[in-house]
Amino acid sequence: MADAPSPREVRTYRAWGAARRITEGVRDPAFRELLQRIDGGPMHHCPPPVLLPDGAEAFRTMISAIDAAQDEVLLETYILRDDTLGAAVQQALVRAVARGVRTYVLADAVGSMGTHDRFWNALTGQGVVVRHFQRFWHHPFAALRRDHRKLLVCDRCVAFTGGMNIGEEYGSSILARHDVWRDTFVQVEGSVARELAAVFAEGWDRARGPALPGLEYVSWSDAIETSPQQNVEGIGTRAVSRRLQQAVQRQLQRQLGRQHDRRRGRRVRRVIEVAAPEDRAVLVLDPRPGRGQHEMLSVLSALLGGARERLWITTPYFAPPSRALTFLLTAARRGVDVRLLLPGERTDVPLIRHAAHGAYRALLESGVRVFEYERATLHAKTMVVDGHASVIGSSNLDFRSFWLNAECNVLVFDDACAAGLEGSFQADLAGSREITKDEWRERTWSHRLLDTTARALRWAL
């Protein structure tokens, strides 16, 4: 008799099953309602998102946004290098401070540990407020929990997120260079940018940063956003019910009574519910250890269950839980065009690639088409479903992203955005090699052994 499923598996299985029963899949309004029940966050209406699949273009656009900022710049990243690209971003941040713009930088202490002190000193010396997430001496028992988010928010009006760290390997076009990485960012505007500012505030508070103007902290990860009036466009605290305002005020008073202890709890980012029309909507998915992880897994499960025609996934680290892999195989068996774009030999973590190899046999036998990218080091994390729903962000399909990292992703319901992501996916296939069942049967016994071992240890990678 099989073991009873865990509560987590029940949650993901129910989300997947509910999505399977929705007639039109991800295009059905009921699917959006399902995701809101799972995640609890608002569906934001916003101008058309702008895909940025080329590193050079992405960073030109981001630096231009920093240069255009008038009030505030929030930059959060796992890696901030002191190379040519890092210096260009550094100069843009310094220019912002010189204009009187509040400028904050949050970098992961482990991801950015190779950056020299003189780089950080140059920022702080010019007035940029810098913090490092989870320094060992601050959180010695949480060293494995990292800030993997990549996020830029300017004036809480325009925001960028995706998979790119700040390093010249990301900021180059696909050229014949051995160190070029392939990644994707997206630019969003409107109320979703204000929510992403609250996402930044969560990690900023954990890194012991000073209070951010216009963001009232209820606890470590509890941020009630009250954006500057010039950026609110009529949607502010007046849109919040008096009863909720009173509840927030009582909570703030309790926090003040505990000497401003803001290091625990859940982040409230749902004060302003933004109604979205059926043609375009954006949902923020921002899990971190202790919050949002089950919701993220359930949303991904629902997307797999809601696919009716196409399900195209790009990820550099493919080592999903067994339940998620089963959902993927089931989608292919019921006729969905499932394609995986995974790294080839030019990977930065060979052992994770072997963990993915451990699932290739089941994938290929179920009809999933698997491609390995050969043109550069693959680092993009995207999913596009039925030419309508797109996920762009920092989350990988592995245990580290699901359980140990703070991540940031946006789920976009928009045909134009999905078409752009599908076009980018097809362009990447031109630089990839498809894995066939016959080829896979012929790999060496040592390769098979390493694949099996890595797959068994995927939870520890």
Q: How far apart are CA 53 and CA 164, in angstroms?
A: 10
Tokens 């752009």 label which residue?
420
| Model pTM score | 0.85
Q: For residues 250-259, give the mean pLDDT.
A: 38
Give the model's pLDDT for residue 74.
Answer: 98
Q: Is the pLDDT of residue 410 over 90?
A: yes
Of the candidates 351, 314, 377, 345, the residue with the CA atom closest to the CA atom of residue 167: 377
Rounded to whole angstroms, the maximal C-alpha distance in the chain is: 68
Q: Is the pLDDT of residue 104 over 90?
A: yes
Q: Is the pLDDT of residue 138 over 80?
A: no
Written as six digits, the tokens of 87 are 């210096």
Contact yes or no for 202/220 (Cβ under 8 A): yes
Domains (range + CATH), the chain? 7-40+278-460 (3.30.870.10), 50-257 (3.30.870.10)
Tokens 């494995």 label which residue?
144
Q: Is the pLDDT of residue 263 over 50?
A: no
Tokens 């996920």 label which residue?
391
Q: Is the pLDDT of residue 5 over 90?
A: no
Q: SS3 for 295?
A: helix
Of the candidates 450, 254, 214, the residue with the CA atom closest to the CA atom of residue 352: 450
Q: SS3 for 10?
A: helix
> Sign of the C-alpha dihedral, residues 422, 424, 427, 431?
negative
289-299 confidence digits (pLDDT tens):
878 888 999 99
Q: SS3 for 443?
A: coil
Give the model's pLDDT for residue 137.
Answer: 57
Q: For residues 386-403, give the mean pLDDT.
A: 94
Strand partners, 73: 103, 154
